[in-house]
Amino acid sequence: MNQFLSVVTHGAQVIYVRAQLSSLENQFQIQKGTLFIMATKTPITVAHGDGIGPEIMAATLHILEAAGAQLDIETIEIGEKVYLAGNSAGIAPEAWDSLRRTKVFLKAPITTPQGGGYRSLNVTVRKALGLYANVRPCVSYHPFVKTKHPVMDVVIVRENEEDLYAGIEYRQTNDMMLSLKLISRPGCEKIVRYAFEYARRFNRKKVTCFTKDNIMKISDGLFHKVFDEIAAEYADIENEHWIVDIGAAKLADTPEAFDVVVMPNLYGDILSDVAAQIAGSVGLAGSSNIGTSCAMFEAIHGSAPRRAGQNMANPSGLLLGAVLMLVHINQMETAERVHNAWLKTLEDGIHTYDIYKDDVSKEKVGTKEFADAVVARVGQKPSQLKAVTYVKQDGEASEVSKPATTNKAAAKKEATKETVGVDVYLDCVGKSPDEIGRAIEALNGDGLKLELVTNRGTKVYPDGLPETFTTDHWRCRFLSEKAIEHKHITALLNRVSEAGFDFIKTENLCTFDGKAGYSA
């Protein structure tokens, strides 16, 4: 859209205004010859959720309004009622229209009904809207909130779309279940770059990466490799990598050693809860889910149904989620006012039941009273806790959400791929490893030769050990000295089937620029 604003004046009087401005539409008025430009309201979508959701959302919106947030709110229904009305995703089709229109979603927690068949709303929304980064600041508020880690200030950046959360699972045999762990180069590039951009923008000094690439050399290995490649582009930010097990132990023991920590989805899911809990309480953390066009903001806790309707719940997690939203939509002064008023309230000892402690708290309050206390402090700053400042960014939305295509890594040429073999998985009972190995070896052909048979990843043929425990799930690896074609694999499968074996899955073995793309 072409944008313009023309104002014709006669002396001090405005006599004519014509405007077409995307961000100022309907936001100006002429009254008695004076042009008033009204503050721009940002459209957002709000869901009040289930359990304690409606109470903490009401408290949050009350505080945002009192602090002068300029929001144009569209309300949608999600959660338990929608699930129980027969929508297995927990979100009505028309709600998507609002989310696509506003692109900003402030979401209260919801209750997922018990029993099978209900899909996780969070996972659905994250995947459908491409919210690839989950960001959780985990801060301790010593001495006002009890914690063993008084100087903790860690931001967990969790990859949000891939890994085991692809939700692709199979029962392959009577005894064996499979979950697919998917890690892609673009997925790694997006999240790692996001972590470094976040660090740069919020003046963080170090980005740490956690993976388990000593075991998962290909999938986690890629995450680590991409981390190293992208880290090299950010010379101003320190970087380091930890194996996730010892890294997690260090994070739980010495969180002050960390600043921004980026990791694949599953580790991030677990460790962001650990980090929030050791900071003081999961009830105090908010999070953002960022995509290239949409973003969702929420508390990290659930709907706490046992506390619902009692004016007891702590609205802080959702309120801090809303602060992240204000930063995202570039309403920095309001974000600062809300955040500092909240810090001052904590510091003044006005606490909900979950963080109330006789020796540090002054007043135990309910949800509404806590919100009123924050509202009464709008404009004030904490005196002992560190006050926050947010710097306004150029442009409309300020949050880092750069697509990954800008980086050097993505500019690399495609590797040359050759298929050099196939792993054939069998469901087989009642045969020994040697019987299976010998029978399968007899099916070699078209250059494909049986290299080995494994059971749960351990070699059992040739030269297996009698002590190795085996299940009904066998992998037969065929390799060829030259590249093979699909027809060679289908011919092999026909021979396997004709020999009376039940093959349940195949996995092509490929090289990329001559390097093996499969585990040894």
H or E element that contains 252: helix 244-253
Query: What are the structure tokens assigned to 118, written together?
Result: 């209900």
186, 302, 462, 517: residue in contact with ligand NAD (rule CB under 6 A): 302
Position 295, amino acid: A
Q: Does 307 bind ligand NAD (CB under 6 A)?
A: yes
User: What's the closest the beta carbon of residue 188 comes to ligand NAD, in angstroms?
Assistant: 25
Complex with ligand NAD: residue 365 or 420, whichever CB lies closer: 365
Does 286 help bind ligand NAD (rule: CB under 6 A)? Answer: no
State in angstroms the smallest separation of the CB of 244 from ligand NAD.
Answer: 22
* Range 49-88, binding ligand NAD (CB under 6 A): 52, 56
Stretch that binds ligand NAD, among 91-99, 110-118, 192-200, 396-404 (CB under 6 A): 110-118
Nearest residue to the partner ligand NAD, using Cβ = 302
Minimum distance, C-beta of residue 281 to ligand NAD, in the bound complex (Å): 8
Cβ pair 355, 280 in contact under 8 A = yes
Stretch 330-359 residues interacting with ligand NAD (CB under 6 A) = 354
With binding defined as CB under 6 A, does residue 313 bind ligand NAD? yes
Q: Which of 45, 122, 265, 361 binds ligand NAD (CB under 6 A)?
A: 122
437-441: which pairs have CB atoms within 8 A and are 24 or more residues apart? Answer: 437/461, 437/462, 439/499, 439/501, 440/476, 440/496, 440/499, 440/501
Min separation Cβ 144 and ligand NAD, Å: 16
Report whether 272 contacts 260 (CB < 8 A).
no
CB of 167 to ligand NAD, least distance (A): 16
**Site size for ligand NAD, by CB under 6 A?**
20
Q: Which residues pair with 290 in a beta bridge?
A: 133, 295
The beta-strand segments (E) located in 367-433 are 417-427
Burial class of residue 466 (count of CB atoms within 10 Å of its CB; 0-12, 13-18, 19+) = exposed
H helices of 395-485, where? Answer: 433-441
Tell me whether residue 325 or residue 450 sits nearer to ligand NAD (CB atom).
325
> Reduced to 3 states, what is the DSSP secondary structure of residue 222?
helix
Q: How far apart are CA 104 and CA 368, in angstroms?
A: 25
Task: Tell me the C-alpha distance between 402 and 191, whole Å.
Answer: 10
Q: Give dist(CA 218, CA 216) in Å, integer.
A: 6
Using CB under 6 A as the binding rule, whether residue 283 contacts ligand NAD is answered as yes
How many Cα neighbours within 13 Å face the side chain of 254? 5
173 lies in the binding site for ligand NAD (CB under 6 A): no
Closest contact distance (angstroms) between CB of 390 and ligand NAD is 24
Distance in Å, CB of 182 to ligand NAD, minimum = 23
Tell me which residues touch ligand NAD (CB under 6 A): 52, 56, 109-112, 122, 283, 298, 301-307, 313-314, 317, 354
